[in-house]
Amino acid sequence: MSKKTNTTFTMIKPDAFKDGNSGEILAMIEKAGFRIVAGKVTQLSLEKAGEFYAVHSQRPFYKDLCAYMSSGPIFAAILEGQNAVERYRKLIGATDPKNAEEGTIRKKFARSIEANAVHGSDSDENADIESAFFFSSFEQFSAK
Ligand code: GDP
């Protein structure tokens, strides 16, 4: 398996960051066997949030989502691990925390379907696009 198929992208969203849950979320990520190979605190502008979520531009919640995602600092990171995209989606749980399983990050920390604590890429292709949106390859380190 190439390195490409072994990374995913995540954001600790403004609600979870503001609530001071970043440390606990990163601990869950590391305990699940992922390595953090890039990471930074940053804040999206409204315009950048719109770009990041362009795929949802026709959805009714798009405007609210962009306002929310640009409302405060986030922690953006690239995670490395076996089958990273699929395993990380399992670890974060369902979009709506009401449907998220016990032991998932969203079950523990999400406030609502919108303020749902974390983002996780949904495909290898999007993991690469989203990682590049926040980090240059120069800023990424393999921990192997
Ligand atoms: P994800 O892959 O589980 O993050 O879910 P999606 O790609 O479908 O949606 C992207 C993000 O939009 C979610 O993580 C939520 O923050 C937000 N979102 C999704 N569905 C809804 C909704 O029905 N209402 C609102 N307000 N936000 C939503």
Task: Tell me the per-residue pLDDT of 39-96, one tens digit each, with 9 for 90 and over.
Answer: 999 999 999 999 999 999 999 999 999 999 999 999 999 999 999 999 999 999 999 9
Q: State whether the beta carbon of 106 lies less than 6 angstroms from ligand 1.
A: no
The pLDDT-based confidence of 143 (bands split at 50, 70, 90) is low
What is d(CA 105, CA 100) in angstroms, rounded to the nearest whole number?
Answer: 9
Give the tens place of pLDDT for each residue, 1-38: 444 449 999 999 999 999 999 999 999 999 999 999 99
Distance 94 CA to ligand 1 centre (A): 10
Domain count, the chain: 1
56 is catalytic: no
CATH classification at residue 16: 3.30.70.141
Domain with 137 in it: 3-37+77-142
Q: Taking the CB of residue 114, how many other CB atoms lie within 10 A of it? A: 16
Enter the tokens of residue 85.
Answer: 């995209």
